[in-house]
Chain A
Amino acid sequence: MMWTELLVGLGATALVDSDDFEVRAIAAADLLSDILATEKSDFVMLTGQTTAPAIRTAVAVGALGVIVVRGKNVPEEMIDLATNFGIPLAVTQLKMFEACVSAGVCLWSSASSKS
């Protein structure tokens, strides 16, 4: 699935733009330690955290992008940091659970349309 498809699927608004890229997995957690423990690669991070440490977590694990859930107000500081690190950032109104389901549907439908 492509990043832009994922954004459409989640009804998400981009806060830090980027070229499109392939997403192979999703890691979703409010606990940054959970994200830091993921073994996935080429993944996008879903989280309710709207802090600088959340962006640094994405940098540390090499997440391809970050989507903030629950329509939270994303502070400038987070947007600036994501811009500086070249991490695409978006926000969706969906709750964490709904966002995970929608992302799963996106992943599944793009995988099945390819095979």
Chain B
Amino acid sequence: MEFSFVQELIHKLKTFQAMREEVVTATTSCTLRDVQGMMRQHRISGVPVVEDEHLLGIVTIEDILRALEHGYIDDPVRGWMTKQVVTVGERWPLTETMSVLDRTGYGRLPVLSAEGKFIGLVTSDSILHALLVELERLLGKDEERAVAESAAAVPPPPAGQHWEFEIPAGDYDAAGLTSVRLKRELASHGVPPEVQRRVAIATYEAEANLIIHTTSGGRIVVDLDERMVRIVVQDDGPGIEDTEMAMRHGWSTASDLVRSLGFGAGLGLPNIRKCADGFQIHSEMGRGTRLDLRFDLPEDTAGQSGPAEGKK
């Protein structure tokens, strides 16, 4: 299954690239009537409640209608706003944010920065706008090159391949996304199935660690040439106190919640080391963690393009 041009485009965009930054917001002491006025004036159906750049809740048109009906429209929003707000991260791939919009059915989602500050809103409109801008930008370039960049549709140049993936923290449902995408890329560049499998497994555990254990996510950078697949996994903290301990089979600091989702058994790092032909881990408290992985390709198969794995 190939990613379509548009899917690939959406995947490259980050959520902050598709959000609206100029957002009408309320404070907890505004009355619901004030908010009703804002909605009318700006023709919007939801107003985030923000103080000191922190999101405290959201007031929607339904809240206003209920207030009118039950006669508390002059109360401050403090007591009536929705406090459990579904939010998205600024660095999330747009695909993830779109699937949250889809899943929840909400018309708008507040966007939080890595530090948890409120920085904007995404709506279907703002996403559509961002896509159109990006499409125009791409089409403005040499058209063939744009397609090659976005869909990787043409055979690989001999010089080698390079991929970068951003992994947001805390998004358990996204676990494995990078692993399966990378596996598909490697397959289309002729990497043998046995190597694909080891890379996919190591990448899966590495991205799970970024999701589960880091403060603000991390990056996975992959380079493929005729001889090897090289992978660097990097994050900005919190770092690992004792890497020797962390490498032990079964050693984990993960929560019960994480365990109930199928991770946090303390098997990740040992399995990554087992899968890779070269493995190095460096970590510093407060600075972050870096894995350097190498997977050697068998001599005769390297650098061929064309599908290498498929069901018989």
Contacts and interface: CB of A to CB of B under 8 A. Distances in A.
Contacts of A57: 176, 204, 262
A51 B265 contact: no
A89 B1 CA distance: 18
Contacts of A62: 193, 197
A60 B173 CA distance: 16
Interface string A30-58: 11111011000000000101011111110
B167 to A, nearest CB: 13
Nearest to A30: B262
A84 interface: yes
A33 B180 contact: no
Contact of B183 (A33, A47, A60): A60
Nearest to A62: B197
Nearest to B203: A60
Contacts, number: 79
Interface residues of B, number: 30
B295 to A, nearest CB: 14
Contacts of B1: 84-86
Given A37-B271, A51-B173, A60 B180 contact: yes
Interface in B190-214: 193, 197, 200-201, 203-205, 208
B197 A61 contact: yes
Given A36-B271, A59-B183, A62-B197, A52 B176 contact: yes
Contact of B261 (A53, A56, A61, A85): A53
In this complex, which of B1, B262, B271 has the most chain A Cβ atoms within 10 angstroms of its Cβ? B262
Contact of A36 (B193, B204, B259): B204
What interface size band does chain A fall in? 20 to 34
Contacts of B311: 86
Contacts of A84: 1
A56 B204 contact: yes
B175 A60 contact: no
A53 B173 contact: yes
Contacts of B197: 60-62
Given A36-B204, A53-B175, 12 more contacts: A31-B263, A32-B262, A33-B265, A51-B262, A53-B173, A56-B175, A56-B180, A57-B204, A57-B262, A59-B200, A60-B183, A85-B1
A49 B261 contact: yes
Given A31-B265, A62-B193, A86-B311, A36 B177 contact: no
In this complex, which of B180, B183, B259 has the most chain A Cβ atoms within 10 angstroms of its Cβ? B180
B170 to A, nearest CB: 14
A38 B103 CA distance: 33
Interface string B56-91: 000000000000000000000000000000000000
Contacts of A54: 262
Contact of A61 (B201, B268, B274): B201
B238 to A, nearest CB: 21
Nearest to A55: B176
A51 B179 CA distance: 16
A104 to B, nearest CB: 23
6 contacts: A37-B271, A56-B204, A60-B176, A60-B183, A60-B197, A62-B193
Contacts of B176: 52-53, 55-57, 59-60
B152 interface: no
A34 B193 contact: no
Contacts of B262: 30-33, 47, 49, 51, 53-54, 57
A37 B205 CA distance: 10
B267 interface: yes
Nearest to A47: B262
A36 B274 CA distance: 11
Nearest to A86: B311
Interface string B240-265: 00000000000000000001011111
B106 interface: no
